Structure 1
Amino acid sequence: MKIKTANIYLIESGGIRPIILELITDDGTVGIGEAGVAYGIGGTAAAGMLKDIIERYMQGGVDPFRSERLWLEIYDHGFWAKGGGAVAFSAMSAIEQAMVDIKGKALGVPVYELLGGRIHDDLRAYANGWYFGATKDADLPAAAEKAAKDGYKALKFYPFVKILPEGRLRHPSFRACSDPDVVRRALYNISEIRRAVGPDVEIMLDLSAGLSLDDTIRFCRRVAEYDITYVEEPAVPGDTGALVKLANSIEQSIAVGERLYTRYDFRDVLESRAVDILQPDIANTGGLMEARRIAAMAETYSLKVQPHICASAVSTAVGMHFSASVPNFYIQEHFPYWARIPGHVDFVEDPIEDTVRNGSIPVNDRPGLGISINQARLAEWRWATFQL
């Protein structure tokens, strides 16, 4: 079996911009992967890196069962992978996911069987994106209450983002957040959200490194009365010293990992003993096997793992297989209302999103990742195709 065709799709549909890779073998088996740079900037760069890797390392067709060998070849000889970031590792993640998907389909087993087997039958999920449609702060309590009524017992919120009139969110920079009104507004919104959902719904806060370190500490102390489950990215990614200071200064659990890449970036964080929850993004940290190694490292430090997912329905499926196989799995990120937005869920056949009930993701036993893509739906977004 050899991979003979590769298609890259760069979806432009408003909001996030998913980058999807499709690999097709000589016997027609299809594997799907996703490069996790769907938000922020860099989507075209990730698609370009996929193109460069395919052209240099996959010509002539590669054996999809040798994904680890290909990963190491790119890491050792591609130069920009060692010490690299989102562009290199999101591309490597997409290729590895698609190859693992092919393996599972060829063997007739779900991907989680290739990661050690299923441990969890249902995955607790928290709702992100529940604030979609809000155009002003006053809309937030009702939106949170609706998500809770839909069965979600945990919600994530970005307390410092600014809601623009068209409903988009703008993340802050701590260089512009010295104004005390920023914190006062955040505290007020959190108090109103807590009032709306009651005491039994967990609230997680993604700080996105939005404040300076001293302001973050003061904020976390003031927000403690609202029973915050954890604070995510409270410091600039990679600043382990700041995490140590935070861990010694606040009572909330600390979660990091969205902007850390491969086991090597996570090593120093683990050795610092400054965090409680690791959040590797399987679509940009190096792929399923790399995320599984990170989870195993976390287990030796008695830490919980919660995969970061902010992309299309492909990444939701990838996350399900990863989470099902991880002993120290904590909770899965989920965007239940993205189905309304074209180009995020609608191009995937049998998406996991359709099966979620009461804030829980049931683990299915379909071969591979258990999904396929609708070629007709994606045709307009094909960015590049290769015959290998």
Structure 2
Amino acid sequence: MQITALRTLRLEEFPNLIWVTIETDEGVTGLGETFFGASAVEAYLHDWCAPKLLGTNPLHLQARVNSLNDYIGWRGAGVETRSYSAIDIALWDLFAKAHDRPLADMLGGRSRDRIRTYNTCAGYKYVRDARAQSVANWHAGETDGPYEDLEAFLSDAGALARSLLDQGITAMKIWPFDIAAERSSGLDITPDELRQALRPFEQIREAVGDQMDIMVEFHSLWSLPMAKRLARELAPFKTYWHEDPFRLDTPADLKNYATACDTWICASETLNGTAAFRDYLETGVAGVVMLDLSWCGGITEARKIAGMAEAYKVPVAPHDCTGPVVYAASCHLSMHLKNALLQESVRAFYTGWYRELATGLPQVEGGMISLNESAGHGIALNPGLWSRADAVTRTTTITNG
């Protein structure tokens, strides 16, 4: 089998997403995806990656990964890494399809058939805004459906918790501190801002008691001193984990943070590769390893990171707040990994815009995720996407590459 073409697709409606397909001379294809800086990723995929892939055997997965690793761009999840990640997801999809098996089976078999999910309380606007992770932008405008969960946790988090429990979902992630962080560059919070940020935790506990696990997302926005203060303020609410309280330029700083934090530390979707996660694990305070398949180097790298975490006796919780391909691939990985704890999902996404783009989504029922059992990761983009008026497509083949 030989790779004959690499194709990419972007849509103006979803400016942060890019999809890549890898085609072969035997008609088997693979689909990958990544998020952020889509046009830059597109250029790198065609200019740098395609020439290294065309004419090679896609089933030699590690060899393909080895050939792509560049002299620069590997420490952080920049354009190079996001490109490699999308390609790796596509290669694993292709590999599993070539053997007519679900990805979870081809990863080495399953540890489970279902996994508990938690709901990240984002709304419908997120991926349709190139400005991405700003609370001020995320909850602007009219709602697109019944699960505008960011608006909900900012206004009535207790009602939101009851709504999730009605669906069997017993864990939720919220980020009410972001508003103050965006104003102060993470350096300070006023008494009124602190009261407003703590109110959702009060509402959840008042409404449903300890039936709901609450994950706190800080989006790496805070200074270390302020992060420690916020951790102490949150102690009465017995939160499940604290995620990315500050930028992990130096993961060892988490040892300082842990002196003020009485729950699990969770990090980090922003880290890439085994070396960065080793630094995190070696702090001795890692509670949960959160990796993002589209930012950490893909499935090949994620398996190594998870194996390393297992050696440190630390669980893994794959991140997903991006697109349907990464979501499905992450679910397959979670079914395989011995130390998978939880799988993130966003109900506004998997009941909403994911369905506008793709078929084959995993099922969510009673707070548990299960797979659809199709070959590969199961996701197929709707064919009409490639001919949409806002579609930007590019193809590199053996003849034109």
Q: TM-score of the superposition, structure 1-length normalised?
A: 0.89
C-alpha offsets along residues 262-314 of structure 1, whole Å, 9 cap, x if unaligned? 10111111111121100011111011111010000001111010011121111
1:65 maps onto 2:59 in alignment: yes
Instruction: Work out whether 1:107 is the aligned partner of 2:99.
Output: yes
How far apart, in 1, do the equivalents of 2:50 and 2:306 lie? 32
Secondary structure of 1:304's aligned partner: coil
Structure 1 residues 26-61: Cα deviation after superposition (integer angstroms, max 9, x where no partner): 222121111133xxxx222222222223343123x2
Q: How far, CA to CA, are the matches of 2:309 and 2:266 in structure 1?
A: 12
Counterpart CA distance in 2 for 1:387 and 1:176 is 50
Deviation at 1:336, TM superposition (A): 1.3
* Equivalent runs, 1:285-324 vs 2, <5 Å: 285-324=296-335
In structure 2, what is the equivalent of residue 87 of structure 1?
A: 79
Q: 2:357 touches 2:385 (CA, 8 Å); kept in 1?
A: yes
Q: C-alpha root-mean-square deviation of aligned residues, in Å? A: 2.2
Contact 2:273 2:301 in 1 (8 A): yes
Shift of 1:84: 4.3
CA change 1:130–1:97 in 2 (3 A) is closer
**SS in structure 1 opposite 2:4?**
strand
Alignment partner of 2:16: what SS? coil
Verify: 1:96 aligned to 2:88, yes or no. Answer: yes
Residue 161 of structure 1 pairs with residue 155 of structure 2: no
Q: C-alpha offsets along residues 197-249 of structure 1, whole Å, 9 cap, x if unaligned? A: 33211000001123322222122112111120000001212322320111222
Percent of aligned positions that are identical: 28
| 1:148 alignment partner AA | L
Residue by residue, what CA displacement relative to the aligned partner does 1:308-351 show, whole Å, maximum 9, x if unpaired? 11211111110111111111110000011114654x33221221
**Separation in structure 2 between the aligned mates of residue 11 and residue 142 of structure 1, nearest angstrom:** 35
Equivalent-residue separation in structure 1 for 2:184 and 2:250 (angstroms): 16
Q: How does 1:1-40 map to 2 (within 5 A)?
A: 1-13=1-13, 17-37=16-36
Are the equivalent residues in 2 in contact too, given 1:112–1:321 (CA < 8 A)? yes
2:368 is the counterpart of 1:373? no
Residues 239 and 9 (structure 1), Cα distance of their counterparts in 2 relative to 1, 3 Å cut: same
Residue among 40, 45, 54 paired with 1:45: 40
Please state if 1:234 is matched with 2:245.
yes
Q: 1:18 to 1:237 in 2, by over 3 A?
A: same
Distance 1:319 1:63, change over 3 A: same
* Structure 1: runs of 5 or more not aligned: 164-169
Match of 1:167 in 2: none
- Cα distance in 1 for partners of 2:182, 2:72 equals 28
Unaligned runs of 5+ in 2: 124-146
**Structure 2 residue identity aligned to 1:17:** N
Q: Is residue 82 of structure 2 the alignment partner of residue 74 of structure 1?
A: no
Find the residue that maps to 2:199 and give its secondary structure.
helix
Check the 8 A contact 2:74/2:80 in 1, yes or no: no
Q: Is the Cα contact below 8 Å between 2:96 and 2:106 reproduced in 1?
A: yes
Q: 1:216 aligned to 208, 227, 252, which one?
A: 227
Structure-2 residue corresponding to 1:359:
367
Equivalent residue pairs, number: 371
Q: Please give the TM-score of this superposition, normalised by the length of structure 2.
A: 0.86
Equivalent-residue separation in structure 2 for 1:375 and 1:387 (angstroms): 20
Counterpart CA distance in 2 for 1:363 and 1:108 is 15
1:63–1:351 CA distance, 2 compared to 1 (3 A): same
Bigger drift between 94-103 and 191-200 goes to 191-200
Q: Is the 8 A contact 2:186 2:226 kept in 1?
A: no
Distance 1:273 1:55, change over 3 A: same
Tell me which residue corresponds to 1:347: 357
- Aligned partners of 2:24 and 2:295: how far apart in 1? 24
